[in-house]
Amino acid sequence: MTEAVLSNVAVLLSIGRHPVSGRARRGATDAQALEMALALRPRRLTAIHAGPAADADALRAYLGMGLERLTVLVLPDGADPVEALIAHLRRLAPSLVLTGRQAEDGEGSGMLPYLIARGLDAAMVPDVVRVGPADASDATPGKAAIVQALPRGQRRALTVSGRLVATVHPSAPPARASAFGPARRGVIEPVAVPVTVEVTADLFLSECEHRPWRPKPKLMRVKRGGSALDRLRAATESKSGKGQLLVNPTAEAGALAIYDSLVEQGMLP
Amino acid sequence: MSNSPIIRRRVDPRAERAARTVLTGPRPRLLRQPVAPTTINERRRDPRALRTAALVQHLPRPRYDWTRDAASPGTAAPAGVAVTAAPAIPLRVIAEPAYLVLAMLDRPGGEVSEHDRQVIAAARLLADGADAGGGGAVVTVATGSGAALAEAGSDRHVALPEGWADDYVPERRAAAASALMAALSPRHILFPDSPDGADVARRVAAAAGERLFTGVQSLSPDRATRQSSGGSLETGHRPTRLMTVAADAFAPLDGVRHEARPLDLATPMVAGEEVLPRLGGARRLAVDPDALALSEADFILSAGNGVTDWQSFAELGEALGATRAGSRVVCDAGHLPRERQVGASGTVVSARCYLAFGIAGAPQHLQGITGVKHVIAINTDLHAEMIKRADLSIVADAQDVMPALIRLIRERRND
């Protein structure tokens, strides 16, 4: 039964944007999501892109990773893809939907997987680095075991029951390279959005004003209050000579001092 | 002439000459200029005296503090006294708030993080904003009590159940936030844009069907901006109801005191406990410390030229559970791989604790550890730069201390 959990996988792929050149490319975490889906070897793998069918070259980079076909939900420019994706995914009924963290182009709010999870009534797990069927010891069938990435390189294990939408963390296994031949041979399959779905333009985005990003000055942690001399000292002087100093202690005394200091810092139990 | 009041100064050439004489004897020496009158004009400022009074540091270059009382030169208080003598920060009470701004804090492990303080500072901008009328109150929502948040700028505090602090319960937190949104109807709700905070924010926004303005970089009562298009555009909009605040975009408040009065509300807990969580069995996994990138590591054990006993160094790294690293010399010599090098030409680390054996502290190495909170240095040279930088310095040979520390750790573990 555990196989059934991850047998029907859908991957949502977007067109990325190179951070320096601004060129269209495969999205970094989207490609990792596809890599994760390919590594699961599901019985059915569907890759979906929603948007105007313009940048076929960027999408072909995904096909070059070993996909045979890629479904494109054709939407007018600037339309909200959420409703169309939910309607399409409902028909597919995947047990696992994988996607990148947030779009590299456009608004990039990272809301899409959450809205889709809500639309599909699925559990939502962010920042996944590994997905697999739950251990035999965990017994309950229909559960997926997930490893999540946390800050500072830490990892957290979770089990999730039922349908699942997961976003992939950049520290997940790297995406394989895209090969030219498979990228040419792969099929991009345009699918019209069902008539029942109302495709609307995004009003919020048209209300926003956009301008080129200018780097902001870095926030300095200046201690306010005190006299000008104190503030000057805090800003200019490096902390030196304020620590505890032990000169030529015995090895045991030195080790004890280090041990106590580490315990105080919470580094040792 | 008789009615003229002019008093002419009598000139006494002998007395003047005597005053100008600096050396008597067979060859007297006289000053050229007449000596200044002894009485000092009160209204005249003496720039040299003012400058010496304002001088606070001679070396390496003179620094002046012009904010001191210029009327009393030379009577400046010694450093440190001003801070202790500062009056207590007045308590600011907002009794009848015109509107509420919610700050949903992470409080990882029960501590108020720097990012949490920044979120409260951003919430204060919205609550005190003159354009919006001001008079708003900041309501912090976090696990634990609000006492620690009063000095960060919190007016009211809603405590979440203690058990949520260590568990991973994003669905319950989101349900609690949604319940508070309905109960208090705040004007804005701010979340930290940290992995966990942003996760909860997106869950709340998806449940409420509202727009989430993520990663706010600048904020005023009538405009909020964020980065979009992969960081190439700045998108501005008037502040929406739900926003997440980017890290290091706002300075945390300092020198304020608010009441952080607890609000007794049962709604968030009830709403949170009602949720049937789909995510379960959360547990931290043991991570191999040597597999971590140095920039991500939290605890680093570092070796320099003073380490020759590499066996003990490896054992110590294992016993401490620390990520091993080294200085440039060590990596050049091939004792550690190149990606384990700390310093200007290696990795700039931001660990919480850095334990350095046999490192003298070249400027390039100290540059690499500027972000480290707690440094412990063991070196044979009392005058090494590393000893000056460290919070705990031990002048001893690394080869003696390392085995002793390994023995101590194993003893304590077996106890």
Angle at Cα A73 formed by Cα A67 and Cα A77, nearest 5°?
Answer: 125
Is ipTM > 0.90 here?
no
Cβ within 8 Å of residue B316, ≥6 positions away: B301, B402, B405, B406
**What's the mean pLDDT in A45-56?**
86
Give B-chain residues touching A19 at CB under 8 angstroms: 230-232
The winner for highest mean pLDDT among A100-109, B160-169, B306-315 is B306-315
Query: What is the pLDDT averaged over residues A74-102?
Result: 91
The class that CATH gives domain B289-414 is alpha beta
CB-based contact A212 B232, cutoff 8 Å: yes
pLDDT for residue B4: 60
Q: Could you say which of 3.40.50.620, 3.30.565.10, 3.40.50.2300, 3.40.50.10470 is the CATH number of the domain covering A2-207?
A: 3.40.50.620
Better pLDDT: B16 or A227:
B16
pLDDT at A218: 79
Q: Which of A139-143, B21-25, B293-297, B376-380 has the lowest mean pLDDT?
A: A139-143
In sequence order, the β-bridge partners of residue B55 are B64
Looking at residue B261, its amino acid is R
CB atoms within 10 A of CB B302: 34
Q: Please, what is the angle between helix B195-208 and helix A112-120, to 10°?
A: 50
Cβ-contact B337, B283 below 8 angstroms: no
Mean pLDDT of chain A: 87
Give the start-to-end residue ranges of the domains of chain A. Answer: 2-207
Contacting residues of B for A256, CB less than 8 Å apart: 408
Give the pLDDT of residue A237: 61
Contact B351, B297 (CB under 8 A): yes
pLDDT value of position A223? 64
Alpha-carbon dihedral angle through residues A149, A152, A155, A161, given to the nearest 10 degrees: -40
- Distance from C-alpha of B111 to C-alpha of B106, rounded to nearest angstrom: 9
Which H or E element spans position A244?
A: strand A244-247
What's the rounded Cα separation, in Å, for the pair B190 and B101? Answer: 8
- The answer to whether A155 and B287 are in contact (CB under 8 A) is yes
| Residues in chain B within 8 Å Cβ distance of A235 | none
Mean pLDDT of chain B: 86
Distance between start and end Cα atoms, chain B: 110
Provide the token pair at A43.
């019985």
Q: Kindly tell me if the per-residue pLDDT of B82 is higher than 50.
A: no
Q: Which residues of B touch A96 (CB under 8 A)?
A: none
pLDDT reading at B249 higher than 70: yes
CB contacts of B408 in chain A (<8 Å) are 252, 255-256, 259
Evaluate if residue B43 carries a pLDDT over 90.
no
For B252-259, what is the mean pLDDT? Answer: 87
User: What confidence tens digit (pLDDT) does each residue in B107-134 have?
Assistant: 887 788 889 999 999 999 999 876 656 7
Rg of chain A over Cα atoms, rounded to whole angstroms, equals 25
Q: Does B299 touch chain A (CB under 8 A)?
A: yes
User: DSSP label at B357?
Assistant: E
Contacts of residue A160 in chain B, CB cutoff 8 Å? 278-280
In angstroms, the CA A125 to CA B279 distance is: 8
Contact B299, B320 (CB under 8 A): yes
- Token digits for B406? 């390994």
Q: Residue A230: its pLDDT value, please?
A: 76
CA torsion angle B169 B175 B180 B181 (round to 10): 130
Residue of A nearest to B167 (CA): A156
Q: What is the pLDDT of residue B245?
A: 95
Tell me if B355 sits within 8 A of B300, measured CB to CB. yes
Tens-digit pLDDT profile for residues A214-225: 988 877 766 666
- Residue ranges covered by each domain of chain B: 54-85, 100-274, 289-414
A67: number of Cβ within 10 Å: 23
What is the model's pLDDT at position B80? Answer: 43
Q: Tell me, what DSSP letter sits at residue B152?
A: G
- Window A:162-181, CB contacts with B under 8 Å: 162
Three-state secondary structure call for residue A186: coil
Contact A261 B374 (CB under 8 A): yes
Task: Specify whether the CB–CB gap between B297 and B348 falls below 8 A.
Answer: no
Residue A33: pLDDT over 70: yes
Q: Please state, in angstroms and rounded to a whole number, the distance separating the CA atoms of residues A128 and A131.
A: 7
Tell me what percent of the residues of chain B surpass a pLDDT of 90. Answer: 47
| Domain B100-274 annotated CATH 3.40.50.620 | yes
CA distances from A99 to A30, A32, A116, B205, B356 (A): 6, 9, 11, 19, 42
* A139-166: average pLDDT: 85
Nearest to B304, CA basis, from B228, B368, B230, B208: B368
- Tell me whether residues B283 and A157 touch, CB distance under 8 A: yes
Helix (H) or strand (E) holding A189: strand A187-192
Provide mean pLDDT across the span B363-386: 91
Q: Which spans in A14-140 are helix H?
A: 28-40, 56-63, 82-92, 112-120
Which residues lie across from A226 on neighbouring strands? none
State mean pLDDT over B139-157: 89
The single-letter code of the amino acid at A205 is L
Q: What pLDDT, in 10s, does the model give residues B286-332?
A: 888 888 889 888 899 999 999 999 999 999 999 999 999 999 999 99
B9 touches A at CB < 8 Å: no
For residue A60 the two structure tokens come to 């072909």
Chain A CB within 8 Å of residue B283 CB:
yes
Q: Are B215 and A126 in contact (CB under 8 A)?
A: no
Q: Which of A183-192, B79-88, B277-286, B380-389 has the lowest mean pLDDT?
A: B79-88
Q: Do A209 and B251 touch (CB under 8 A)?
A: no
pLDDT reading at B144 higher than 60: yes
The per-residue pLDDT for B54 is 86
Q: What is the CA radius of gyration of chain B?
A: 33
- Alpha-carbon distance A19 to nearest alpha carbon in chain B (angstroms): 7
Q: Does A86 touch chain B (CB under 8 A)?
A: no
| Chain B (92-131) residues lying within 8 Å, Cβ to Cβ, of chain A | none
**DSSP H or E segment with residue A47:** strand A44-51
